Amino acid sequence: MSIISDSLKRIKPSPTIAVTQKARELRAAGKDVIGLGAGEPDFDTPDNIKDAAIQAIRDGDTKYTAVDGTPALKKAIVEKFKRENNLDFNTDQITVGTGGKQVLYNAFMATLNKGDEVIIPAPFWVSYPDMVLLAGGKPKIIKCDEKDGFKLTAKKLQKAISKKTKWLILNSPSNPTGAGYTKNEIEDLAKILIKNKRVHILSDDIYEHIRYDNFNFFTIAQISKLKDRTLTMNGVSKSYAMTGWRIGYAAGPKDIIKAIGKIQSQSTSNPSSVSQAAAVEALNGSQDFIKERSDAFKERRDFVVKSLNNIKGINCLTPNGAFYVFPSCKGLLNKKTKLKTDSEFVQKLLEKENVAVVQGSAFGLDGYFRISYATSMENLKKAMDRIKSFCESIS
């Protein structure tokens, strides 16, 4: 008899982490690998944030804190939501975890019963379905077409809702596509959700500040009739280049926030005290660098999209935000190339050209692949040349 839990049979390791690890191993073996798999800004954490952490250490701010966040950080989060999203919360409606991923995991563990359905638009961030499965829920994957910008439509949402639906996940701007929902698109979804009072909404806003072309960010909790049914998750990892600091947070109904705290009290307990002090400075300090970095990401996005669309057999939409593109490789999956799936495409690309990307099937939509352009222009130029060379060699 195996000692390993049956629940682990329901999930698989993260494909994005696997690709990043494979790229590291190949580099260690002497290969000139360009890794375009990691969802991590290549910029450093701003100095004022690092200085706040150093000062916290010097002040002896290295002890346990409240399980779900310090009063100072909760206050900064409340002020952030008011200042940037025109949302009013009290500190007892805020939870802080060790990264946005833990906040989401805690939310599912705290709310899902066996058989509860969670609507997940595809393409999706790879961890959503597995977290739902671990919590005993049932992922209900709704494929979103490229012609709709990879976004969920009101018609598809209405059709997906059942008596067992407990959550809808919305991620805007999105990982893996970079697609952002406009205010009108969210309002269309809201009309359906307002009628279906049993459904709660989990809004993953982690890429809120990384957006382009004057795209106006709008989060669904801003629709007053849905605020009491929405858990709005965000964090400092992407916008503030603080992935390793592990701070995520959420705002929502008190009962859900309290339940999340209960789960966290029996798992990790509080996030790092030093990281929380740094996050206070991130939210309260100067935000000027965010636009500068978004401008740099936009330059990379424009270069990558143009380069990909100049490759025969590849087609790529221009995303509204985040730092990903999600090009189609369907034009290269045929008898001539001897490639049948996107998994085979990315495997051969890595083997022949030492470029690591992630197959679209990992995100719930076959025939695509994800590129993270959160790396230098030098790397991107080399990568685009290699991808073009590979595609030409097989077509």
pLDDT digits (tens, 9 = 90+) for 299-310: 999 999 999 999
Helices vs strands, H then E, count in the chain: 13, 12
3-state secondary structure 292-334: HHHHHHHHHHHHHHHHHHCCCCCECCCCCECCEECCECHHHCC
Residue 52 confidence (pLDDT): 98
Q: The tokens of 219 are what? A: 């989060």
Q: For residues 253 and 319, state if they share a domain.
A: no
End residue of a domain, out of 263, 284, 305: 284
End residue of a domain, out of 250, 284, 318: 284
Distance between CA atoms of 176 and 19, rounded to whole angstroms? 14
CATH number of the domain at 301, please: 3.90.1150.10
Residue 315 confidence (pLDDT): 98
* Within a domain: 54: no
Distance of CA 62 to the CA centre of its chain: 29
Q: How many domains does the chain divide into?
A: 2
Residue written as tokens 């999706």? Answer: 124
Q: For residues 301 and 336, state if they share a domain.
A: yes
Between helices 377-394 and 342-353, what is the axis angle to 10°?
110
Distance between CA atoms of 80 and 315, rounded to whole angstroms? 38
Q: Which domain holds residue 358?
A: 6-44+289-394
Is residue 210 pLDDT above 80, yes or no? Answer: yes
Q: For residues 271 and 162, state if they share a domain.
A: yes
Distance between CA atoms of 379 and 78, rounded to whole angstroms? 39
Per DSSP (E only), the strands in the chain are 34-35, 94-97, 117-122, 138-143, 165-171, 200-204, 230-235, 248-251, 324-325, 355-356, 358-359, 369-372
Q: For residues 336 and 315, state if they share a domain.
A: yes
End residue of a domain, out of 284, 311, 330: 284
Q: Mind listing the pLDDT tens digit for each residue in 116-165?
A: 999 999 999 999 999 999 999 999 999 999 999 999 999 999 999 999 99
Distance between CA atoms of 36 and 313, rounded to whole angstroms? 20
Q: The tokens of 278 are what? A: 């740094």
Residue 30 confidence (pLDDT): 86
Residue 23 confidence (pLDDT): 79
Q: Residue 31 — very low, low, confident or very high, per pLDDT cuts 50/70/90?
A: confident
Q: For residues 82 and 192, state if they share a domain.
A: yes
Residue 378 confidence (pLDDT): 97
Q: For residues 257 and 344, state if they share a domain.
A: no
Q: For residues 239 and 371, state if they share a domain.
A: no
Q: For residues 354 and 240, state if they share a domain.
A: no
* Within a domain: 52: no
Is residue 106 pLDDT above 80, yes or no? Answer: yes
Q: For residues 99 and 175, state if they share a domain.
A: yes
Q: For residues 245 and 112, state if they share a domain.
A: yes
* Within a domain: 49: no
pTM (2 d.p.)? 0.96
Cross-strand pairs, 324: 372
Q: For residues 80 and 162, state if they share a domain.
A: yes
Q: Residue 22 — very low, low, confident or very high, per pLDDT cuts 50/70/90?
A: confident
Residue 393 confidence (pLDDT): 96
For the ranges 23-32, 59-68, 368-377, which has the lowest average pLDDT? 23-32
Between helices 15-28 and 342-353, what is the axis angle to 10°?
20
Instruction: Supply the mean pLDDT for the chain.
Output: 96
Is residue 38 pLDDT above 90, yes or no? Answer: no
Is residue 15 pLDDT above 90, yes or no? Answer: no
